[in-house]
Amino acid sequence: MEKLGDYCLFSVQALISAVRRPPRSRDVLDQLDALGVQSLLILIATGLFVGMAITIIMEAEMELYGAKVYIGRMLAVATVRELAPVFSALMLAGRVGARIAAELGSMRVTQQIDSIEGLGQDPMQKLVTPRLLALLIMLPALTMIMNLVTLLGGFLVSTVSPGVFWFEARKAFVIRHLSGGLLKPFVFGYLIATIACFLGLRTSLGVRGVGEAAARAVVTSSVAIFLANYVIGFLILKAFGV
Amino acid sequence: MLTLRGVDYSIGEKRILQDVHLDVGEQETLAILGASGSGKSTILKIMLGLLRPDRGEVKVLGREITRLPYEQLVELRKRLGIVFQEGALFDSLTVGENVAYYYLEHTSRSHGELEPLVRNMLRTVGLEETMDMMPEELSGGMRRRVAIARALIYEPAVILYDEPTTGLDPLAAGGILELINRLKHQHRVTSVVVTHALDDALTVADRFAILRDGSVVWSGTKRQFSANRKRMLALYYRPAEDRAGVHEGAA
């Protein structure tokens, strides 16, 4: 509970720091590249295969009820509301969360963070807020790309005509479906960045501690993503209905 | 320049420092002598404001830092330099970028503009040829020299050295001590050196403080130390159980 309290305080401080003492644009650009651009290929591959797998299975099931023509809509709703935000976040929690925790953890155990402070810099401004801002920008952008790629994957293996597929898919792009899909990446990005930075900066016990921090960052942020996904999904369902 | 008054510091139930009093005058070099785990590095971190004491007063360059707002503390740190035990260089930056770090982060000066200054600073520590190398390519002694150059480049009022020779071979250790002495005389910089090596302290210090189990058991000048060398050695090396109540000299 004490750690949870420390994390909550840290995550709020990170947000305040990002507003009050914005990081240098060069630091943010470096992180946009390292955390976002370099994750693009892996997300495209994930989206493509998820879209293909779901379409093959669901199309066969829906055919039993004579509802195969609605596959585009079904896939688009699932993608926009759940699949793209959650899969993008999970991929980044694995790739980026571990990277951030290991990077900051090894800086902690080799006294590089003490050096940063000794050289008159605030580690929150230098290390945490650039990563937080980068994820708040890149995760929504990557989720958008994931939306398109997942639909494209489904389209490639679907047996319904292209016109019908895209006509039905377009129906998913309404506010009640989009609201969750647009909100979730910001929340997930915030969770991944703050959890990974928090665990990385509190690393101890040398190299072993770095490995543990990286593993814990992935597990904790993944669980936090699922929890937040449920809460947001529930709230949006209450607000907009089915 | 630096004053600690009645400083206590604990981690949980474990008391690390107890009623520590220290003074460092301008252009003076204070050596804090003590065995591993006696709290020497903690004192440096408290002087730098990286740790806040549980009790007591810490004055750095005339300012009481224990109640200083964080932003002001960060500003004050720009007038202090620290050389950590292993150098603590940024391993993703070249040696030149490490040395230029302060100016790259706090000013708008470019790499090109800073190159002559960085080259000159590396020449001062005898490592001009390492400018484009990565820290992992350097030996332990070289890393510490680079760390000294990084701390020295912005001409801080005080430099803090954390075990500057630990783990180095005698030749490299001698080189570091010679460098600290040279900087002291050339740049007239105030220094605090924490070490467990008595010979190192005798080589560089004007004043001494002997730390045992988190308390300063003796402090005085080099002359006082040398005049009572046998007693000082006995005090420094005496087993823990014999030390109770020993508070001599001008603590």
Give yes or no: residues B166 and B250 share one domain: yes
Give yes or no: residues B141 and B174 share one domain: no
Give yes or no: residues B36 and B101 share one domain: no
The whole-number pLDDT of residue B238 equals 59
Phi, psi angles (nearest 5°) of residue A9: -60, -45
Interchain pair A114, B88: CB under 8 A: yes
Give yes or no: residues B177 and B63 share one domain: yes
Residue length of chain A: 242
Give yes or no: residues B74 and B1 share one domain: yes
Interchain pair A119, B101: CB under 8 A: yes
CA distances from B33 to B115, B145, B166, B235 (A): 37, 22, 13, 11
> Can you give the pLDDT of all 251 residues of chain B as single tens digits?
899 999 999 988 888 999 999 999 888 999 998 888 788 889 999 999 989 999 999 999 989 999 888 888 888 888 898 998 888 999 999 999 999 999 988 888 888 889 999 998 898 888 889 999 999 999 888 898 899 889 888 888 899 999 888 877 888 788 888 888 888 888 788 999 998 888 888 888 889 898 888 888 888 888 888 887 777 777 776 554 444 444 444 44
Chain B residues within 8 A of A122 when measuring between CB atoms: 70, 74
Q: Domain residues for B239?
A: 1-79+160-251
Domain final residue, candidates B123, B155, B187: B155
Interchain pair B102, A114: CB under 8 A: no
Interchain pair B86, A111: CB under 8 A: yes
The total number of structural domains in chain B stands at 2
Contact with chain A for residue B80, Cβ under 8 A: yes
Phi, psi angles (nearest 5°) of residue B158: -135, 140
Give yes or no: residues B120 and B33 share one domain: no
Q: What angle do CA B164, B169, B173 make, to 5 degrees?
A: 35
Q: Which residue of A has its CA nearest to B152?
A: A119
Interchain pair A112, B81: CB under 8 A: no
Of B77, B85, B91, the CB nearest to A118: B77
**Beta bridge partner(s), residue B4:** B22, B58
Give yes or no: residues B164 and B57 share one domain: yes
Interchain pair A112, B89: CB under 8 A: yes
Task: Tell me which residue of A37, A28, A10, A182 sits closest to A95, measured CA to CA.
Answer: A37
DSSP A110-148: TTHHHHHHHTT--HIIIIIHHHHHHHHHHHHHHHHHHHH
Give yes or no: residues B201 and B97 share one domain: no
Min Cα separation B243/chain A (Å): 32
Interchain pair A114, B50: CB under 8 A: yes
> Do A51 and A150 form a contact (C-beta atoms < 8 A)?
yes
The whole-number pLDDT of residue B250 equals 41
Interchain pair A114, B80: CB under 8 A: no
Task: Tell me which residue of A210, A235, A225, A240 sits closest to A99, measured CA to CA.
Answer: A210
Give yes or no: residues B74 and B169 share one domain: yes
Min Cα separation A177/chain B (Å): 43
Chain B residues within 8 A of A112 when measuring between CB atoms: 88-91
Contact with chain A for residue B82, Cβ under 8 A: yes
CATH number of the domain within which B5 lies: 3.40.50.300
Of A24, A119, A126, the CB nearest to B102: A119
Interchain pair B88, A110: CB under 8 A: yes
H-helix segments, A65-128 = 71-78, 84-92, 98-109, 112-118, 123
> Can you give the pLDDT of all 242 residues of chain A as single tens digits?
778 889 999 999 999 988 888 898 889 999 999 888 888 999 999 999 999 999 999 999 999 998 899 999 999 999 999 999 999 999 999 999 999 999 999 999 999 999 999 888 889 999 999 999 999 999 999 999 999 999 999 999 999 999 999 999 998 888 888 888 889 999 999 999 999 999 999 998 788 899 999 999 999 999 999 999 999 988 888 887 76
Chain A residues within 8 A of B70 when measuring between CB atoms: 122
Give yes or no: residues B11 and B103 share one domain: no
ipTM of the complex: 0.79
Give yes or no: residues B164 and B74 share one domain: yes
Give yes or no: residues B15 and B75 share one domain: yes
| Mutate which: A26, A107, A115, vs B, most B CBs within 10 A | A115
Distance CA A242, CA A81 (A): 11
**B245 CB neighbour count, 10 Å cutoff:** 6
Residue length of chain B: 251
What is the SS3 string spanning chain B? CEEEEEEEEEECCEEEEEEEEEEECCCCEEEEEECCCCCHHHHHHHHCCCCCCCEEEEEECCEECCCCCHHHHHHHHCCEEEECCCCCCCCCCCHHHHHHHHHHHHCCCCHHHHHHHHHHHHHHCCCHHHCCCCHHHCCHHHHHHHHHHHHHCCCCCEEEEECCCCCCCHHHHHHHHHHHHHHHHHHCCEEEEEECCHHHHHHHCCEEEEEECCEEEEEEEHHHHHHCHHHHHHHHHCCHHHCCCCCCCCC
Distance CA B195, CA B168 (A): 13
Q: Which residue of B has its CA nearest to A123?
A: B74
**B155 CB neighbour count, 10 Å cutoff:** 10
Of B84, B101, B102, the CB nearest to A111: B84
Domain final residue, candidates B129, B155, B181: B155
Domain final residue, candidates B155, B185, B202: B155
Of B70, B88, B150, the CB nearest to A111: B88
